[in-house]
Amino acid sequence: MKPILITSLLLTFFLAACSEPPKVAKESVAKPVPVARAQSFTVMVNGIVIGKMDVATKDNSISIDFGFKNNGRGPSFKENVVLNSAGFPVDWTIDGNSTFGNTIAERFVLTGETANWTDATGSGEAKISEPSLYINQFGSPYAGFIFANALLNAKEQKLPALPAGELNLKAMEEITINATDGELALTSYALGGADLNPDYFILDENNHYFAYISPSFSIIRKGFESEDVMLRAMAEKYSAKRYELIQSEVAHKYAGPVRIRNVRIFDPTTLSLTEPVSVVVSNEKISAIDDLSVATVSTETEIDGAGGTLVAGLYDMHGHMGAEQALLNIAAGVTSVRDMGNSNEVLDELINKIDSGVLAGPRITRYGFIEGKSPFSSNNGILVETEEQALEAVRTYAAKGFSAVKLYNSMNGDWAPAIVKEAHRLNMRVAGHVPAFSNANDMINAGFDEMTHINQIMLGWVLEPGEDTRSLLRLTALNRLPTLDLNSQAVTETINMMAEKGVAMDPTMAIHEYLLLARNGELRAGVTDYLEHMPPTVQRGAKVALASIASEKEDKDYRGAYQQISKTVTLMKEAGIQLIPGTDLGGGFTLHRELEIYQDFGFSPAEVVKLGSTDMANYLGHDNLGTIEKDKLADFFLIPGDPTKDFKAIKRISLVSKGGVFYYPSEIYPRFGITPFTDLPKVKISD
């Protein structure tokens, strides 16, 4: 259960501190909720301070002041919570702004057996017959403390949740760290049940809040910031163990060859399906494609394809990969991801575990993230302050085997020509945002091989000189697009330059659809095909806007901006510019939506399938992927329908192979609270 603001940040990204070896936590016994206590916490991302959380308690009331800024944006709000004698919230108010500027005005009140709440989706009411915990929509991670104090006294540490679902608490580990007045005993917990993945947090020996932890993001009690690396490593360990266990249960590596009988293969050359065949996988490769007349031999495992369609694995070309997304991408047929910026150390570890088979996950192509240091920095990759440091960052990534680098908003645009020259000397591509106070034409002339995010290009056509795109302005200024003449010289010049110089475009349409068209209380178009299968908190979040839409004019302007974006990408396609489908939203189901949108630009369903698989393999130079042919790596997925006639068929996946390891989404999804979309295929194990 992650608050939406934390999820959006983790949208956008055991060491020697223990004085004794960690041990598994004992059964916990709750202690009373603390009174008359004030605490301050430091918010950090990848070890860099980005904000604060101040907490004051008095009697049965808690006040929280929370906010941070990363990548030029972040939430800021105040919470007030009143608890009853059992530690359950009976009055909860949250006021402020979300990460992308949406207004927060959330209310929860419990009167007797009647619970009432108002959030961004509207108002709700429920009669409760047993103690229940309200899951706040936008609150701070301090909610973990509130929930824990109630759950520790509950049977089996489980309680029903409002508006829906169930919360559960699991003690993970006991550790001891050094404090100014001696040693401090801590216990880590996993809070889960209402979302796809659990949250991890830490309480001290008095059950006071100590930290919220994830592999890249942490909120730590003030004075203990030096423990950040150790605590984030703990979160990484817990997440890895969870996924290692799931991998051991759902990954099928059969002894001997595997024959998938009675399937039609999507052929990107003809944009059609073949006649029914059998596809044979031996080890990690496709070893044969046979007529159905060829019999299955006793040493082969046979999977009944039931006349379905086999499609080469999809590519999400704009990811920021973490362990929590890895397996769900596989289940959605996304067997390859291009990572466009990350904590280098965290991603190194993730790739090692995926490559060794410990974790399930896509093949990851890394672009080295280079960002300039500023108050608006995105704190990932390598941060630089001079041109020479930027050039050294390029050389560092080249030495580590990266095939490309990505430049970001706080970079000095004047350094771009030198950076591109050095990258090209080292046979590396360059992609990226348009650095603040520059424009797309500057970056195209500097030699960029690819532009990232369509808004980064279009802002140059509507911004005034000196306006700073390191802030939320790079999103909110899109409301100026409806008045833009797409036949103007400025628009035509940029598109022609891109076409002439062979500059590709990674538009990330799904995130623009989310930003510009989502409205509080309305179901987003991008989730309609799968939402009813998702857990309650995910369903609730699908009716929340990213941006603040404060008037009818703003509503009209934002909708008009999306139409202008769609028309611009269509113009780019018509000009012959290579379009690169990526999500910046975690991939998985969202990549299905990203590709679906491309039909608006004039792609047929079959062309979209080819674009998302074969074309992206070719773009990245992956000669052994992208098609289903003999001797290619066995990365593909099986669907019952025909995506060349209806692209939505691609969303119902019954089988995925990544390098000859087989996964069945119907086995994976229940572990995340997701209702499966298809049945398990019939499998006959070899003798």
Do 220 and 145 lie in a common domain? yes
Find the domain containing 91 and state its range: 4-249
Number of H helices, E strands in the chain: 18, 32
Q: How confident is the model at residue 340 (pLDDT cuts 50, 70, 90)?
A: very high
Are the CB atoms for 151 and 159 separated by under 8 Å? yes
Q: Coil, strand, or helix at residue 257?
A: coil
Q: What is the pLDDT of residues 407-435, one digit of tens each?
A: 999 999 999 999 999 999 999 999 999 99
Please report whether residue 646 resides in a domain: no
Please report whether residue 109 resides in a domain: yes
Please enumerate in sequence order all residues whose Cβ is within 8 A of that of 117, keeping only pairs 6 or more positions apart, or say none. Answer: 106, 107, 108, 109, 123, 124, 125, 134, 162, 163
Are the CB atoms for 585 and 287 separated by under 8 Å? no
Please report whether residue 659 resides in a domain: no
Among 280, 243, 224, 270, residue whose Cα is nearest residue 40:
224
Do 228 and 328 lie in a common domain? no
Is the pLDDT score of 646 beyond 60? yes
Please report whether residue 92 resides in a domain: yes
Q: Determine the pLDDT at residue 70.
A: 85
Q: How confident is the model at residue 550 (pLDDT cuts 50, 70, 90)?
A: confident
Is the pLDDT score of 454 beyond 50? yes
Instruction: Give percent of the chain with pLDDT exceeding 70.
Output: 94
Instruction: Give percent of the chain with pLDDT exceeding 90.
Output: 78
Among 665, 646, 634, 31, residue whose Cα is nearest residue 311:
634
Please report whether residue 37 resides in a domain: yes
Do 77 and 191 lie in a common domain? yes
Mean pLDDT, range 194-202, rounded to an integer:
87
Q: Determine the pLDDT at residue 8.
A: 42
C-alpha distances in angstroms, 257 versus 156, 398, 634, 639, 649?
45, 38, 12, 21, 28
Lowest-confidence segment of 333-342, 449-458, 470-479 by average pLDDT:
470-479
> For residues 423 and 398, what is the distance between their CA atoms, to the nearest angstrom?
8
Do 328 and 413 lie in a common domain? yes
Mean pLDDT of the chain: 91
Q: What is the pLDDT of residues 431-450, one digit of tens each?
A: 999 999 999 999 999 999 99
C-alpha distances in angstroms, 11 versus 47, 176, 268, 315, 653?
18, 32, 32, 18, 25
Do 245 and 318 lie in a common domain? no
| Helix then strand then coil, % of the chain, to nearest 5 | 30, 30, 40
Q: What is the pLDDT of residues 217-263, one digit of tens each?
A: 999 999 999 999 999 999 989 988 899 999 999 999 999 999 999 99
The C-alpha torsion from 491 through 492 and 495 to 501, rounded to 10°, is -130
Would you say how long the chain is, in residues?
A: 687
Stronger pLDDT, 431 or 380, i.e. the higher one = 431
Instruction: Please report where in the chains the tokens 């080890």 appear, as a residue.
Output: 283
Please report whether residue 160 resides in a domain: yes
| DSSP bridge pairs for 661 | 658
Mean pLDDT, range 115-133, rounded to an integer:
93
Do 113 and 224 lie in a common domain? yes
> For residues 664 and 655, what is the distance between their CA atoms, to the nearest angstrom?
5
Task: Estimate to the nearest angstrom the gap between the alpha carbon of 125 and the chain centroid.
Answer: 31
Q: How confident is the model at residue 169 (pLDDT cuts 50, 70, 90)?
A: very high
Per-position DSSP letters for 300-350, written without gaps between them: SEEEEEEEEEEEEPEEEEEE---HHHHHHHHHTTEEEEEE-S--HHHHHHH
Do 390 and 514 lie in a common domain? yes
> For residues 269 and 424, what is the distance between their CA atoms, to the nearest angstrom?
31
> For residues 6 and 26, what is the distance between their CA atoms, to the nearest angstrom?
29
Is the pLDDT score of 6 beyond 50? no
Do 332 and 198 lie in a common domain? no
Q: Determine the pLDDT at residue 475.
A: 83
Please give the tally of structural domains in the chain.
Answer: 2
Q: Taking the model in full, what pTM does it have?
A: 0.88
Domain boundary among 202, 220, 249: 249
Per-position DSSP letters for 279-298, written without gaps between them: EEEETTEEEEEEETTSPPPT
Please report whether residue 181 resides in a domain: yes
The C-alpha torsion from 410 through 413 and 418 to 423, rounded to 10°, is 50
> For residues 480 and 640, what is the distance between their CA atoms, to the nearest angstrom?
44
Are the CB atoms for 662 and 685 separated by under 8 Å? no
- CATH number, domain of 616, equals 3.20.20.140
Do 390 and 530 lie in a common domain? yes
Q: How confident is the model at residue 2 (pLDDT cuts 50, 70, 90)?
A: low
Q: Which H or E run includes 409?
A: none
Do 241 and 362 lie in a common domain? no
Quote the DSSP letter at residue 622: -
Please report whether residue 266 resides in a domain: no
Q: Determine the pLDDT at residue 27.
A: 43
Domain boundary among 201, 221, 249: 249
Cβ of 675: how many Cβ atoms within 10 Å? 12
Burial-class residue 686 by CB neighbours within 10 Å (0-12, 13-18, 19+): middle
Do 318 and 241 lie in a common domain? no
Are the CB atoms for 595 and 608 separated by under 8 Å? yes
Domain boundary among 249, 280, 304: 249
Cβ of 189: how many Cβ atoms within 10 Å? 26
| DSSP bridge pairs for 124 | 117
Cis peptide preceding 643, ω within 30 of 0: no
Please enumerate in sequence order all residues whose Cβ is within 8 A of that of 282, keeping only pairs 6 or more positions apart, or say none. Answer: 257, 258, 660
Do 142 and 218 lie in a common domain? yes
C-alpha distances in angstroms, 660 versus 256, 353, 368, 665?
11, 17, 29, 16
Q: How confident is the model at residue 547 (pLDDT cuts 50, 70, 90)?
A: confident
Tokens of 245: 């266990």
Mean pLDDT, range 269-296, rounded to an integer:
97
Q: How confident is the model at residue 476 (pLDDT cuts 50, 70, 90)?
A: confident
Are the CB atoms for 498 and 572 separated by under 8 Å? yes
Among 67, 93, 70, 89, residue whose Cα is nearest residue 80:
93
Q: Coil, strand, or helix at residue 149?
A: helix
